A and B are shown apart, each in its own frame.
Chain A
Amino acid sequence: MSSVAEPPVLPATRRSIPWLRIFVVVFLVILLIGSITTDGFYSVANARAILNSAAIVGILAVGATAIVVAGQLFSLSLGVTVAVCAMLFLSLLGYGMVPAILGTLLFGFLIVGVQGYAVGRFGANPIIITIAAGALLEGAVTWVSGGVSVYPSAEASSYAWLAAPLFGIPFPVFVFIAVVILGELCLRGTVFGRQLYLMGGNPKAARAAALPISRLSFGAFAVAGIAAGIAGILLGAFNQSGTLTTTGTLTYDAIAAVLVGGSAVTGGRGSVLRSAGGAVLIAAIADMLLLRGFSPPIQMLVLGLVVACVVLLNQANRGGK
């Protein structure tokens, strides 16, 4: 029963709680003090180290951003995908550098894209589909590789330049910057990117507006797959071998980078630039902890706390789901 006399629509002002600003300032001050009092933090070598470790996570975070913006939450198996791509890349090197790169990217594109299709077309829960796909991928790859590490064959093209520094900065950092620029251009300037934002912002309206939901979902995940492929190539070149255990907490680091960057979990907002910033921030914090002698588990703990704080504050600022 619609009534003509509808209660007036209040303008949607974003409630900026003053204490949010205060907290951010306090947080940054703590960070600043921490970095100043950490020996060796402000050095060129350290900066390079931070950028290097941020690079791989950052590339993956660009991919994860596409998924979050599209409203499809997260993929929990990007780490496994990266490891598999590293293995694939190294094994394909025998056919030449270009086929190896193309093959790996294509693999990433398809294997993660198909997960997105299942999510978009059938409405399956993305978190569950991706962890299932991760288990399948892990099982299949262990089967095929026999559980051993993959090494590039003797005739493999020279790939050392992928991990080597260029003008003193590790090559992956350049790739990271390029991926960030490309990613941002794609999300902001293409029909595909714009439609991802729309779909994430209001999935029902997107459907009613005849946006191609299944295709968009496939695409968002496929972008993440390509990012995983790139990260896998760089990682494989760096380690000069590929196994399933090389990626550790990569998945969570990438997701954390996206969340810390401020992209809304529910979708429709966020940007590649912010996720890249989040990746650098996380790498800086981890680096600081490392320099002070804290072990990886503590880094994970701190990471979790930072993510929790950012997510809660972000949500509280926006005034609810």
Chain B
Amino acid sequence: MGATLSAPVRTRRPGSGDRWPLIFLAVMLLLLLAVPTLLGGTAPVFSVFNAAQSFAGLGLVALALGLTMIIGEFDLSVVGTYALGGMLAVKFGAENPFLGALIAVVGCALFGAIQGLAIAKLRVNSMAVTLAGYLVALGAAGTIGDNKSQPFPNFEFTGTFNAPIAGVLSLRSLITLVIFVIAGLLLLRTRAGRDMRAAGGGRRAARTAGVRVDLIVVVTFAASAGLSALGGTIQSYGVATATSNPGLFPLIFAVTACLLGGVALTGGQGTPVGIFAGALGLCFLSQLFTDLASPQFMVSLVTGALLVAVTLAATPALAQWRQRLIYQKDSTDSQTARRDS
């Protein structure tokens, strides 16, 4: 005598989870192009370009955070390494921007690896460790920058960096795009990526199956710090200034972009494609507000509201409620079927 009711079967192919984020991206792009033109505003191409430019820096922060979420952790320190990376790059990259970027990325990656070690080996809660890491990194950034913004004197490089390519792209945004592509391929096609998703989706099962979970944690946190440092570098080179304290905004952006992009807080879900869509879409939205000459607080309000909505939508309570409705309907259907038979 088997179980009494069978669960409703819904098989979904992977990657179908990226459907909604891509729709979000498309909608945002549409709005960005359509709304200002309708109101007799600025040239839409330039808006897209601008949005892509800010995506170049912030998108990498979202990717960084997203990778740690995919393995089932959470890196609060991405804001810190974003600021620290930008500061290091500006300080050391005046003569040679590549050297500056290298120092920023490698230095922060080492920092991230240390955090990863603490989380993996000492089994400390990742939020606590990365909160401390955030303070350290932000403090370091402020120290290097003497608590104020630091200019990047290599204007020639900044010019080339920002120069438009094909109207909407630039060297700045292309770098980030390429990185997203690499991340996507890595996560979905390689063994390492698969192990990462396993570590996030079923840590115990992955460990028993022989996946080197601890190594994955260390490497992912190193990558996260390195990527957000790169994002900070790109941003600093792009606007020729490094800020010592960007506030919480990059974190809010990154979390919203990841949640919109289909990355689950519980781990194991989400792809760089989704994160890309969420981040770029958010940049379009932000650019829309700029084009409409909305005051800054509007952006705060909308992003905050969006984040609340997305967070509540992702909670287990909602999923349980939906599941119960499905089962309840199934059961009454089969009950009526039995009664009628």
Seen from chain A, the residues whose Cβ lies within 8 Å of a Cβ on chain B are 73-74, 76, 118, 121-125, 127-129, 131-140, 142-143, 147, 252, 255-256, 259, 265-266, 295-305, 307-308, 311-312, 315-316, 320-321
Contact = CB atoms under 8 A, between A and B. Distances in A.
A118 B255 CA distance: 18
Per DSSP, chain A at the interface is helix
B252 A132 contact: yes
Contact of B139 (A139, A143, A303, A321): A303
A131 B251 contact: yes
6 contacts: A74-B127, A129-B311, A132-B307, A133-B304, A134-B248, A299-B139
Given A265-B127, A307-B132, A311-B124, A300 B139 contact: yes
Contact of B136 (A123, A138, A147, A305): A305
B272 to A, nearest CB: 21
Contacts of B123: 315, 320-321
B271 to A, nearest CB: 20
A2 B135 CA distance: 47
B255 A131 contact: yes
Nearest to B146: A295
Nearest to A129: B311
B94 interface: no
A297 B141 contact: yes
B316 A311 contact: no
Contact of B127 (A127, A136, A307, A308): A127
A289 to B, nearest CB: 11
B183 interface: no
B297 A301 contact: no
A249 to B, nearest CB: 8
Interface string B295-326: 11111111111011001100111100000000
Given A131-B248, A135-B303, A315-B122, A296 B135 contact: no
B259 to A, nearest CB: 8
Given A297-B141, A308-B129, A125 B311 contact: yes
A297 B83 CA distance: 12
Interface of B: 74, 76, 118, 122-125, 127-129, 131-143, 145-147, 244, 248, 251-252, 255, 259, 265, 295-305, 307-308, 311-312, 315-318
A5 to B, nearest CB: 24
A259 B125 CA distance: 13
A250 to B, nearest CB: 13
A270 to B, nearest CB: 13
A315 B141 CA distance: 27
Given A136-B305, A259-B132, A297-B147, 8 more contacts: A74-B131, A127-B74, A135-B252, A135-B307, A295-B147, A300-B138, A315-B124, A316-B122
Contact of B244 (A147, A265, A266, A297): A297
Contacts of B132: 259, 304-305, 307-308, 311
Given A131-B252, A143-B301, A265 B125 contact: yes
A301 B139 contact: yes
Contact of A142 (B74, B133, B300): B300
B124 A128 contact: no
A125 B265 contact: yes
Contacts of A304: 132-139
Contacts of B311: 124-125, 128-129, 132
B301 to A, nearest CB: 4
A43 to B, nearest CB: 27
A283 B127 CA distance: 24
A297 B143 contact: yes
A300 B84 CA distance: 13
B317 A122 contact: yes
B286 to A, nearest CB: 13
A139 B300 contact: yes
A293 to B, nearest CB: 13
Contacts of B146: 295, 297
Contact of B135 (A138, A142, A307): A307
B122 A135 contact: no
A76 B248 contact: yes
Nearest to B256: A132
Contacts of A301: 135-136, 139-140, 142-143
Nearest to B132: A308
A140 B317 contact: no
The list of the 3 closest CB pairs from A to B, nearest first, reads: A297-B142, A301-B139, A304-B135
A217 to B, nearest CB: 13
A266 B125 contact: yes
Contact of B128 (A118, A142, A295, A311): A311
Given A139-B297, A298-B143, A321 B133 contact: no
A312 B122 contact: yes
A147 B297 CA distance: 9
A122 B315 contact: yes
B121 to A, nearest CB: 10
Contacts of B304: 132-139
A104 B100 CA distance: 48
Contacts of B141: 297
B127 A300 contact: no
Contacts of B305: 132, 136
Nearest to B80: A304
A124 B139 contact: no
Contacts of B118: 308, 312
A305 B143 CA distance: 14
A136 B122 contact: no
A53 to B, nearest CB: 17
A129 to B, nearest CB: 6
